């Protein structure tokens, strides 16, 4: 049997939720990853250091003492965030980044930023604190087609931002388009991007295959095959400024299978396995480790993890549903096969 041992990877974009829901999902990430950047879009959002530290304690309380898992907390940027809050967050030693959501762009983004220019003074603080800005890169203008929102964001918001703040480290989260790939490649050293398993493995046909598929609805929305191929080529290229961020975003089945289904796909149960599938398909499994365990840590200025994980090339059936607090969720590839298995 083919096996692959790599340095324990990190997930640089993860939604854990809170309370009973979190208890149901957190171990899926802990088994696979050493650390994860924890997204702050709870309801209410994590806008203060105190909230971030409380949330961190909730996460740690779900884990055994020797889990070794380190949640890397983030602050949710608002137009009212005081500069001192960012300094305070940095000093805490547990907050690693600030997340920019355009107001209304995605799940719990109502308190996000209406106009990037309104937070320019706070971005100066991020530069001074050497703290990365994590960007949900989509415009929210209802006039802009949903499939063009990332491309337009690059021109209207991201390019001017990088021109103005040359010392700001920016992670362009969950990129989905050829334009984003090209922009990151030709961009400065302080710009990187995370890539999700769904944007590597699925194109937008997966939203409508045999009828509408709400469990394939996430934001940014799945794109055309041309874009999937560009993102796939970027991830598997070995380029150091592309790295792993699952954007695993669990929602109860009832919230997804509804008249107004919410955005987000749950992939933590087979995340590293799906990336292994991608690198295997590309014929470059030898590059999985750098993408999953080196590039992100290097960009964030963190030491690489010490331990390892081992994957086996062995097909297994993903359950049709998983427990999610008092409810259930439908995971990525529910009821279908996964080609790689984590060795416990
Ligand atoms: C995320 C969620 O549910 O929190 N949803 C998603 O579709 N990715 C929010 C986000 O990262 O956009
Ligand atoms: Zn996300």
Q: What is the CATH number of the domain that holds 38?
A: 3.20.20.140
Is residue 247 part of the annotated active site? The answer reads yes
Give the pLDDT band of residue 177 (cuts 50, 70, 90). very high
Query: How far is the C-alpha of 35 from the C-alpha of 28, rounded, in Å?
Result: 12
Choosing from 36, 41, 213, 255 the residue with most ligand 1 atoms within 8 A of its CB, the one to mutate for a pocket test is 41
- Identify whether 39 is part of a domain: yes
Q: Is the CB of 150 under 6 A from ligand 1?
A: no
CA-closest candidate to residue 215, choices 63, 334, 301 = 334
The pair of structure tokens assigned to 267 is 């992939």
- Identify whether 326 is part of a domain: no
Query: How far is the C-alpha of 148 from the C-alpha of 223, rounded, in Å?
Result: 9
Choosing from 14, 15, 171, 193 the residue with most ligand 1 atoms within 8 A of its CB, the one to mutate for a pocket test is 15
- Work out which ligand 1 atom sits closest to the CA atom of 263: 7
Residues 235-260 have a mean pLDDT of: 98
- Identify whether 316 is part of a domain: no
**What does the pLDDT look like over 58-83, one tens digit per residue?**
999 999 999 999 999 999 999 999 99
3-class secondary-structure state, position 207: helix
The mean pLDDT value of the chain amounts to 97
Query: How far is the C-alpha of 217 from the C-alpha of 202, rounded, in Å?
Result: 11
- Identify whether 164 is part of a domain: yes
Q: How far apart are the first and last CA of the chain?
A: 16
Give the pLDDT band of residue 244 (cuts 50, 70, 90). very high
Query: Given a cut of 90, is residue 15 above it in pLDDT?
Result: yes
Of the residues 54, 247, 286, 298, which is catalytic?
247
Q: What pLDDT shows up at residue 110?
A: 87
Computed over its alpha carbons, how large is the radius of gyration of the chain? 19
Query: How far is the C-alpha of 260 from the C-alpha of 258, rounded, in Å?
Result: 5
Ligand 1 geometric centre to CA of 106 (Å):
6
Domain count, the chain: 1
Q: Is the CB of 264 under 6 A from ligand 1?
A: yes
The kind and range of the H/E element at 194 are strand 191-195
Q: Is the CB of 106 under 6 A from ligand 1?
A: yes
Q: What pLDDT shows up at residue 78?
A: 97
- Identify whether 315 is part of a domain: no
Give the pLDDT band of residue 163 (cuts 50, 70, 90). very high
- Identify whether 169 is part of a domain: yes
3-class secondary-structure state, position 191: strand
- Identify whether 119 is part of a domain: yes
CA angle 218, 174, 120 (to 5 degrees): 110
Q: What pLDDT shows up at residue 108?
A: 85
Query: How far is the C-alpha of 117 from the C-alpha of 115, rounded, in Å?
Result: 5
Residues 302-311 have a mean pLDDT of: 98
Domain with 303 in it: 7-309
Q: What pLDDT shows up at residue 109?
A: 83
Query: How far is the C-alpha of 61 from the C-alpha of 51, rounded, in Å?
Result: 15
Q: What pLDDT shows up at residue 235?
A: 99
Is the pTM above the cut of 0.85?
A: yes
| Cβ neighbours around 195 below 10 Å, total | 30
**What does the pLDDT look like over 88-138, one tens digit per residue?**
999 999 999 999 999 988 888 889 999 999 999 999 999 999 999 999 999
Which residues make Cβ contacts (< 8 Å) with residue 35, sequence separation at least 6?
Answer: 10, 11, 69, 70, 71, 72, 302, 305
- Identify whether 335 is part of a domain: no
Give the pLDDT band of residue 344 (cuts 50, 70, 90). confident
């Amino acid at each position: 049997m083919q096996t692959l041992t790599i340095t324990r990877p990190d997930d640089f974009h993860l939604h854990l939720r809170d309370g009973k829901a979190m208890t149901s999902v957190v171990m899926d990430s802990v088994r696979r990853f050493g650390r994860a950047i924890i997204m702050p879009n709870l309801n209410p959002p994590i806008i203060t250091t105190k909230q971030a530290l409380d949330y961190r304690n909730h996460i740690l309380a779900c884990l055994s003492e020797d889990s070794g898992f380190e949640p890397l907390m983030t602050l949710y940027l608002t137009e009212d965030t005081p500069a001192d809050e960012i300094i305070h967050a940095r000093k805490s030693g547990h907050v690693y980044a600030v997340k920019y959501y355009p107001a209304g762009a995605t799940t719990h983004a109502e308190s996000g930023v209406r106009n990037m220019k309104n937070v320019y003074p706070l971005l100066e603080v991020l530069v001074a604190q050497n703290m990365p800005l994590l960007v949900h890169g989509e415009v929210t203008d209802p006039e802009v087609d949903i499939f063009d929102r990332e491309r337009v964001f690059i021109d209207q918001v991201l390019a001017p931002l990088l021109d103005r703040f040359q010392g700001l480290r920016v992670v362009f989260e969950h990129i989905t388009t050829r334009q984003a790939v090209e922009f990151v490649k030709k961009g400065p050293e302080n710009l990187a991007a995370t890539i999700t398993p769904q944007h590597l493995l699925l194109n937008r046909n997966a939203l409508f295959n045999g009828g509408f598929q709400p469990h394939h609805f996430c934001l940014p929305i799945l794109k055309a095959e041309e874009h999937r191929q560009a993102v796939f080529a970027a991830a598997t290229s070995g380029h150091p400024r592309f790295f792993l961020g699952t954007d695993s975003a669990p929602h109860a089945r009832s919230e997804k299978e509804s008249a107004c289904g919410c955005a987000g796909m749950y992939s933590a149960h087979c995340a590293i396995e799906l990336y292994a599938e991608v690198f295997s398909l590309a014929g470059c499994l030898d590059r999985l480790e750098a993408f999953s365990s080196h590039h992100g840590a290097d960009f964030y200025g963190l030491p690489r993890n010490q331990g390892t994980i081992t994957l086996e090339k062995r097909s297994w059936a993903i359950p049709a549903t998983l427990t999610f607090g008092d409810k259930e969720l439908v995971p990525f590839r529910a009821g279908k096969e996964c080609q790689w298995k984590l060795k416990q």
